Amino acid sequence: MRQLEPFTELLNSGTDWHYKKMRLMARTPLPRRNYGPDWEASDRHLDAFGDTVNAIVRRIEAEGYSGTFILPDAQLRAIRADLDGVSFVNRHDRSDQRLFDLDRLDADGTGTGTIYSNFEMHSRSPALQALIASAIEPVARAYLGACCKFLNSQVWITFPGTATARNKDFGWHYDVDDFKFLKLFCYLNDVDAATGPHAILPASHRSRHMYRFFNRQLDDRSARQFGEPCVITGPAGSCFFEDTIIYHKGTAPTERPRIILQVQFGVAM
């Protein structure tokens, strides 16, 4: 029973007590109150996102996500260039490691419905390091407060194919990655309805109902109680901050592969 997940996780002998406590408590709004936002943090204007830190944080607070920014072309090109020669691993079994020509993924014909990830971009891309330092971290620090800490980065490619909405990669869920956390997503290719856009259920992060506590994953029918989904499409370089405590999902691409970058900050539970 999926609803019992908060309690079955407590029985998992493979994780320590502190992690189990976090997984249980972070489903409730209580611990989040201890971390940010820090409104004193900054009214600084961020060139990469064309807005001030505080305005972005205010929107994340209210909407669960920041709305979309388009990264300046030079920064997008620099990040894409740093991906040259990077290998990706099949996220499901980690067995299959591959290089891709990111400009010719359609021609590659690889991996029906498969997701390939790279988990090291933050350590090997100077362009990403610069973006993190100049624009992503200031927003994360303002949103999460003094305990803010970089957690990870990931670039993944989702291929169209046999993937269906029943596949758990593509179902509605919220994340429980820390007591409070924030992600920056950035599309590295053009994403339309057929490229597997990211989607959220607006305002679902604000629900105080016990239903949320017990239902970290939702099927499409249950998701309807949260209203119309917001589907995020946009050209390469489209970025958005999201507190993925909101219900969200990546939809399954039907025609073209999607390349997406994620940078995650937390409070270092």
Ligand X SMILES: O=C(O)CCC(=O)C(=O)O
Residues that bind ligand X (CB under 6 A): 175, 198, 244, 248-250, 260, 262
Closest distance of CB 168 from ligand X, Å: 10
Q: Between 234 and 250, whose beta carbon lies closer to ligand X? A: 250
Q: Between 54 and 178, whose beta carbon lies closer to ligand X? A: 178
Residue ranges of alpha helices (H) inside the chain are: 5-8, 17-25, 53-63, 73-82, 105-108, 121-124, 126-131, 137-144, 210-214, 220-223
Closest distance of CB 44 from ligand X, Å: 27
Q: Between 83 and 176, whose beta carbon lies closer to ligand X? A: 176
186 SS3 class? strand
Nearest-CA neighbor of 192 among 103, 258, 247?
258
Q: Between 49 and 240, whose beta carbon lies closer to ligand X? A: 240
Closest distance of CB 226 from ligand X, Å: 16
How many other CB atoms are there within 10 angstroms of residue 224's CB atom? Answer: 12
Closest distance of CB 249 from ligand X, Å: 6
Closest distance of CB 177 from ligand X, Å: 8
Which tokens go with 250?
Answer: 């990546």
Distance CA 263, CA 152 (A): 6
DSSP of 35-88, one letter per residue? S---TTS---EETTTTEEHHHHHHHHHHHSB---EE--HHHHHHHHHHTTT-EE
Which residue number places its CB atom closest to ligand X? 250
Using CA atoms, how far residue 95 sits from 68, 85, 100, in Å, is: 35, 19, 16
Q: Between 56 and 200, whose beta carbon lies closer to ligand X? A: 200
Closest distance of CB 154 from ligand X, Å: 8
Q: Between 128 and 252, whose beta carbon lies closer to ligand X? A: 252
Q: Between 212 and 248, whose beta carbon lies closer to ligand X? A: 248
Q: Between 52 and 233, whose beta carbon lies closer to ligand X? A: 233
Is residue 200 within 8 Å of residue 174, measured between CB atoms? no
Closest distance of CB 199 from ligand X, Å: 8
Q: Which residues contact 172 (CB under 8 A, 6 or more apart)?
A: 201, 217, 218, 219, 220, 222, 223, 247, 248, 249
Closest distance of CB 232 from ligand X, Å: 8
Is residue 257 within 8 Å of residue 79, measured between CB atoms? no
Distance CA 268, CA 107 (A): 41
